[in-house]
Chains A and B, each alone.
Chain A
């Protein structure tokens, strides 16, 4: 029996990939005042950024209600007796907490393992994709949990930001607060360390920031999975993906967009590269 793989929508996994690999994604919600949208279900990234431009107040985000998690688990438990849940970094969202709590409220007997990925965006997504691929090949839950724990230390991500205001307003600035307040217009490159936002570099132009992302990826000697994701700049993302493809011709590069919930925290013009692989 195939182990079911569950994650939250913060991993930015494209829906066709999720469908193909049998990944269940529990969407978070975006709130524009009284209007509530399920991440990537009722609202696409494009629609989100259009609304963001028009909206006076910043949108807020929430995890799904506990009931949704419980129902999702129970439904999957009809088809399998093992579920692996891979959550967004618990330092960044309450998703992990709810995922753990929901296990105790299930009606059906089923073994559920919840793992904190310590990542977000496609760094989380790639870990989930790797687990789903292994599950499809018949790996058991213990094997999958071990693989996932190992992959957590093999994942990495860098993102070029247009502004840090959204991260700061949304309380996700983490250690990148060191980059706040720059008197010069710079493009901050952030990543994640120990589950929190971490400041890596500041580039003086957008072009150099994109170079930085490129060299970040090429610093890996071996790459299992790679993703290029963007918010509002598909052409830039395409160009970067093309550059990377010529360097890594055998690697499939997932092309994704940040989900609306991630978008609410990163703002427009974010461009990122996520890698699951080994350095040196």
Chain B
């Protein structure tokens, strides 16, 4: 391929026109990424409308120089911007336009520098820039563009390729920077939108017209896997979000910085951008009337758009349901220890009630959990023999339909959870889970709280004691040795999987040693060592 050394205004116009149609194909998917209470209802749609206005205005440029086209695009973006991400996008175009002012055409290096300027201007538009959003994506993408232009190649296609790759990586890690994204297991919608736009530009520069037409942009996968499940999100308390309020003020001697400060007292997610003759405002407020009355004396208002975010939230919840398998049945599990709770959540438990051997939850605790989940049908996994009866009480206190799968250990609970079938009804699931729990053996090792003699064993206080399926079978000074002692009572040659959950007073090195020893003795075994973080129990081991 011949290197592309420069682009003119016509190229600029067409590459962003291509980007707009590329974005159009995934705007609905991007809408689906929104996470409340992160502001902005329909990010994909908002960015698309912003892009359309940008592209339309680019046709009205005075000439075909990069400078004029970029200026027109910047103007189009400002007046057409919608929503949070749209406004930030308009800042990106404003930065691009400032950087290429006066130029007929630009080189790859100049394009990279213009992206860097775009990043700076985008950050400047916000009083409180948040990382893990479109801002991070434009910054990291522009840094990659500059690095590539400086050290690798001045070919514009290869620079944009590097930019797109960096944008994709940046989007994938947005959940590590923004906790709400992590909880929802999604990437930032605005970041995804920007990545899609840059990818559209790249397709155009590569001359891939057929791809633009027949393929669809792919959604970047979150680098952090999803743990929270949709039904839980639906159950979240309803907080009023108020109104997403957008408008443009046209006038003379406007002061965007001063206006931003004043508006910050009147709402959240305030973005104010523009110059002394036109300013775009985006604000989330419980009282849009108050905001509008405040700005009316400053000039004339245009493109006023006020949307009810509570309504958007309900639509959003409906949309989220589509993305997951329809789960009519929720699972409430009693678990103690952060690691174990994560294991249960990651395998699909809807609600975790903290509790275990020394901390039995009350019927009321379980009832609250049952009432908190959205589903009308709930399976309870008590995971301890002292909690099974409590769990059985819940049915008489709720209108919901309850099935208790009487798991008495953590390994039984995990086995039951794994047997959950998304296609089956509650009864079938309860049957399958009962069957699965019966197939697993549980080993637990803890410290004796007092000296005693039990089951023919003399036990001194603080000695390690080992249980097999709830029966005391071994005693010793070291928990590691006791685990091995108990396991030695089983025919491990017929076992396929051993999972070792180590407690909060056991180190991972100690646990790994136990695991390695098993691995060496029995080659057919799949041994997994997992941090359970449970108190009191040094080891909980599942044998299947």
Contact = CB atoms under 8 A, between A and B. Distances in A.
Given A186-B418, A204-B497, A180 B214 contact: no
Nearest to A203: B418
B347 A204 contact: no
Contacts of B59: none
Contacts of B339: 183
A198 to B, nearest CB: 7
Contacts of A101: 214
A220 interface: no
Please classify the interface of chain B as helix (H, G, I), strand (E, B), loop, or mixed, using the class held by over half of its residues.
Answer: loop
Interface stretch (A59-67, A130-138, A233-241, A256-264): A59-67
Interface in A162-196: 168-171, 173, 175, 177-178, 180-186, 193
A98 to B, nearest CB: 6
B52 interface: no
Please classify the interface of chain A as helix (H, G, I), strand (E, B), loop, or mixed, using the class held by over half of its residues.
Answer: mixed
Contact of A202 (B224, B225, B347): B347
A207 B418 CA distance: 15
B221 to A, nearest CB: 4
A178 B216 contact: no
B325 A184 contact: no
Given A181-B346, A201-B421, A171 B325 contact: no
A201 B225 CA distance: 18
Contact of A181 (B210, B216, B226, B530): B226
Given A204-B497, A207-B496, A178 B229 contact: yes
B421 A200 contact: yes
B185 interface: yes
Contacts of B294: none
B497 A169 contact: no
A169 B221 contact: yes
A198 B424 CA distance: 13
A181 B214 contact: no
B324 interface: yes
B215 A170 contact: no
A205 interface: yes
Contacts of B210: 65-66
Interface in A111-129: none
Interface in B219-241: 219, 221, 224-227, 229
B305 interface: no
Contacts of A63: 214-215
B343 interface: yes
A198 B346 contact: no
A94 B218 CA distance: 12
Interface in A78-108: 94, 97-98, 101
Chain A interface: which size bin? 35 or more
Interface string B314-328: 000000000111010
A186 B221 CA distance: 20
B348 interface: yes
Interface in A45-85: 62-63, 65-66
A173 B324 CA distance: 11
B227 A184 contact: no
B218 A198 contact: no
Contacts of A193: 423
Interface in B105-138: none
Given A98-B214, A182-B346, A205-B497, A171 B219 contact: yes
A199 B528 contact: no
A197 to B, nearest CB: 10
Interface in B497-538: 497, 499, 526, 528, 530
Given A62-B215, A173-B221, A199-B325, A185 B526 contact: yes
A173 to B, nearest CB: 7
A245 interface: no
A260 to B, nearest CB: 18
A175 B185 contact: no
B4 interface: no
A186 B218 CA distance: 27
Given A94-B216, A186-B418, A177 B496 contact: no
Contacts of B226: 177-178, 180-181
A65 B368 CA distance: 57
Nearest to A171: B218
A177 B348 CA distance: 11
A205 B526 contact: yes
A37 B327 CA distance: 41
A181 B185 contact: yes
Nearest to B210: A65
A150 interface: no
B380 interface: no
B419 to A, nearest CB: 8
A181 B226 CA distance: 6
Interface string B345-372: 0111000000000000000000000000
B325 A175 contact: yes
Given A63-B214, A168-B221, A201-B421, A181 B227 contact: yes
A97 B214 CA distance: 7
Given A177-B323, A204-B544, A183 B346 contact: yes
A200 B422 CA distance: 6
Residue from B218, B323, B347, B499 with most neighbouring chain A CB atoms (10 Å): B347
B145 interface: no
A62 B211 contact: yes
B484 interface: no
A208 interface: yes
Contacts of A208: 496
Given A183-B343, A184-B347, A185-B526, A94 B215 contact: yes
Contacts of A177: 185, 226, 323-324
Nearest to A60: B218
A184 B526 contact: no
B518 to A, nearest CB: 15
A266 to B, nearest CB: 15
Nearest to A172: B218
A185 to B, nearest CB: 5
Contact of B528 (A62, A178, A184, A207): A184
Given A168-B221, A198-B325, A178 B214 contact: no
Interface in B71-109: none
23 contacts: A62-B215, A63-B215, A65-B210, A66-B210, A94-B215, A168-B221, A171-B221, A173-B221, A175-B422, A177-B323, A181-B226, A181-B346, A182-B225, A182-B346, A184-B343, A185-B526, A198-B422, A201-B419, A201-B421, A202-B418, A203-B418, A205-B526, A207-B496
Given A184-B530, A204-B526, A205-B496, 17 more contacts: A63-B214, A63-B215, A94-B214, A94-B215, A94-B216, A177-B323, A178-B226, A178-B327, A181-B346, A182-B225, A184-B343, A199-B422, A200-B421, A203-B418, A204-B418, A204-B499, A204-B544
Interface of B: 185, 210-211, 214-216, 218-219, 221, 224-227, 229, 323-325, 327, 339, 342-343, 346-348, 414-415, 418-419, 421-423, 496-497, 499, 526, 528, 530, 544
